[in-house]
């Protein structure tokens, strides 16, 4: 069984990559982009487009093996990049970027759970911000943990106390229990139970 900690770390890594891709930007090809005999743009000869595409490819290589997809080049003048992350020799996550000659784009991130694929992000860059990416990553982390733990309260207590540290300062069990309106013992029991379950998987 795939290690839960590595699954959660992969979700965070994908979120960071999404922000890096957004920072690179989706510059459209220039108006004088060279074309082939059929009038399709030669995007690899357009310095503005190709520089961004190449930078995105290099960025995604830290995630996993990257494939260039050009099957839509003739149809809608777009290209794609797909990076695959494996954990313990099995495909666990795909990170896809579609990038059109007109600057149109899509970012898709998905994870494999229980034999199926769970889509975390499927958005165009104007619909994404770093805050929104963070929310999608948090949702992915909670989904991964809930899938492994089977308990929503254990998932939330564990995530708040153990897995969502911010600037090196963890939320203590006492503080989280106070915010949640329960005893520290209730939070402690849930966190310890979650740790036992995750250590067995």
Beta-carbon contacts of 189 under 8 Å, excluding residues fewer than 6 positions away, are none
Same domain (yes/no): 192, 123: no
- Alpha helices (H) along the chain: 4-24, 47-60, 73-76, 130-149, 152-158, 173-180, 184-200
Query: What are 63's two structure tokens?
Result: 């995630």
- Give the Cα-Cα-Cα angle 28, 108, 60 (nearest 5 degrees): 75
The CA distance from 125 to 81, in Å, is 15
Same domain (yes/no): 34, 114: yes
171 versus 49: the higher-pLDDT residue is 49
Same domain (yes/no): 87, 172: no
Res 162 pLDDT > 90: no
93 versus 5: the higher-pLDDT residue is 93
Same domain (yes/no): 52, 107: yes
Query: What are 171's two structure tokens?
Result: 């939320």
Give the mean model confidence (pLDDT) for residues 144-159.
Answer: 91
Region of 87 (left: φ > 0; alpha: ψ -120 to 50; beta: rest) is beta
Same domain (yes/no): 46, 101: yes
Res 171 pLDDT > 90: no
Question: What percentage of residues in the chain have a pLDDT greater than 90?
Answer: 68
Amino acid 71: pLDDT:
86
Amino acid 165: pLDDT:
62
Same domain (yes/no): 90, 162: no
Same domain (yes/no): 104, 169: no
Same domain (yes/no): 71, 165: no
Is residue 171 a contact partner of residue 162, using CB atoms and an 8 Å limit? Answer: no
Amino acid 131: pLDDT:
94
| Each residue's pLDDT tens digit, 89-133 | 889 999 999 999 999 999 999 999 888 999 999 999 988 999 999
Residues spanned by the domain of 198: 150-201
| Each residue's pLDDT tens digit, 41-68 | 999 999 999 999 999 999 999 999 999 9
Same domain (yes/no): 141, 154: no
Res 1 pLDDT > 60: no
Domain end among 149, 166, 185:
149
Same domain (yes/no): 73, 106: yes
Domain end among 129, 149, 169:
149
Beta-carbon contacts of 177 under 8 Å, excluding residues fewer than 6 positions away, are 183, 184, 186, 187
């Amino acid at each position: 069984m795939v290690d839960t900690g590595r699954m959660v770390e992969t979700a965070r890594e994908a979120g960071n990559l999404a922000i890096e891709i957004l920072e690179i930007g989706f510059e459209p090809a220039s108006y004088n982009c060279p074309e082939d005999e059929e009038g399709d743009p030669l995007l690899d000869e357009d310095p503005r487009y190709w520089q961004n595409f190449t930078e995105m490819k290099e960025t995604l290589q830290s995630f996993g093996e990257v494939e260039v997809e050009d099957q839509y080049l003739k149809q809608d003048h777009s290209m794609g990049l797909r990076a695959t992350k494996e954990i313990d020799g099995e495909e666990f996550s795909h990170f896809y970027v579609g990038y059109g000659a007109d600057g149109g784009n899509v970012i898709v991130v998905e994870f494999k759970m229980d034999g199926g694929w769970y889509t975390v992000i499927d958005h165009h860059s104007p619909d994404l911000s770093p805050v929104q990416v963070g929310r999608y990553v948090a949702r992915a982390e909670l989904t991964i943990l809930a899938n492994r733990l089977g308990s929503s309260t254990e998932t939330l207590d564990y995530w708040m106390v153990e897995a969502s540290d911010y600037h090196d300062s963890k939320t203590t069990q006492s503080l989280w229990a106070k915010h949640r309106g329960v005893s520290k013992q209730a939070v402690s029991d849930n966190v310890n139970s979650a740790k036992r379950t995750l250590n067995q998987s």
